[in-house]
């Protein structure tokens, strides 16, 4: 088997096998990142003999269990392209990343609307000054989840912000 470019380089991390879903979810299934960092896994059926699963499971990724979660105590409801905006947090000095993830919109197991970006920021004693994406080419207008992450890659609960 040939190694893909993802199997080499400085970004390579050890692989960890996690628990399997309790039922097979194939055709017409969805997995959706929730604002609290967990993943909703639902559906299946209506094709290729797949069992019709009219239920869901919620998966808690191990990174949510690595320690205390940072907290965003205030965030704007809306931001404009290229603008700076404020995220207040009592853990400002320990924040190492800020991410922007578009709300999911899945159909037939695909989410062609998903977007992810790391945002640049500076910190002070009570929070972060974050720069919004500068272009709609990589971040179309709409609603995004803003997460702050600490040095252990533990995310906050997301704040939902509309980008326009």
- Residues annotated as catalytic (active site), given as ranges: 27
Say if 56 falls within a structural domain. Answer: no
Give the C-alpha separation, 104 to 41, whole Å: 12
Where in the chain does DSSP place strands (E)? 29-33, 39-43, 56-59, 78-79, 84-88, 95-102, 116-118, 121-124, 127-131, 142-150, 159-163
Quick one: pLDDT at residue 70?
Answer: 98
Task: Report which of 21, 31, 26 is spatially closest to residue 106, judged by C-alpha positions.
Answer: 31
d(CA 46, CA 108): 11
141 occurs within a structural domain: yes
Q: Give me the CATH number covering residue 121.
A: 2.60.40.10
pLDDT-derived band at 9 (thresholds 50, 70, 90) equals low
pLDDT at res. 74: 98
Domain presence at residue 42: no
Mean pLDDT of the chain: 87
DSSP state of 155: B
- Give domain status of residue 115, yes or no: yes
* Structural domain for 144, as ranges: 64-163
Higher pLDDT, 50 or 103: 103
Q: Is the pLDDT of residue 112 over 50?
A: yes
What pLDDT digit, counting tens, does each position of 57-72 carry? 999 999 999 999 999 9
Residue 40 lies in a domain: no
pLDDT at 31: 84
Output the pLDDT for position 11.
53
- 53 Cβ contact partners less than 8 Å away, ≥ 6 residues apart: 23, 25, 29, 42, 43, 44, 45
Q: Is residue 30 part of a domain?
A: no
Over residues 142-161, the pLDDT tens digits come to: 999 999 999 999 999 999 99
In a domain, residue 41? The reply is no
Question: For the chain, what is the domain count?
Answer: 1
State the Cα–Cα distance between residues 148 and 87, nearest whole angstrom: 9
What is the average per-residue pLDDT within 51-57?
84
More reliable by pLDDT, 137 or 20: 137
Nearest to 142 by CA among 104, 106, 109, 111: 104
Let me know if residue 149 belongs to a domain.
yes
């Amino acid at each position: 088997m040939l190694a893909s470019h993802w199997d080499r380089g400085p970004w390579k991390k050890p692989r960890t096998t996690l628990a399997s879903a309790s039922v097979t979810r194939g055709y017409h299934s969805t997995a959706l990142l929730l604002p609290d960092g967990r993943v909703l896994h639902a559906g299946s059926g209506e094709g290729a003999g797949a069992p019709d699963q009219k239920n869901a499971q919620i998966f808690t990724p191990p990174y949510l269990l690595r320690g205390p979660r940072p907290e965003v105590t205030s965030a704007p409801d809306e931001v404009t392209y290229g603008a700076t905006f404020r995220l207040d947090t009592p853990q400002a000095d320990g924040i190492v990343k800020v991410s922007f993830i578009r709300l999911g919109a899945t159909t037939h197991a695909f989410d062609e609307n998903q977007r992810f970006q790391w945002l640049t920021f500076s910190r002070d004693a009570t929070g972060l000054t974050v720069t919004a994406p500068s272009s709609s080419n990589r971040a179309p207008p709409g609603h995004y989840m803003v997460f702050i992450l600490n040095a252990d890659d533990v995310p906050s609960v997301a704040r939902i912000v509309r980008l326009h």
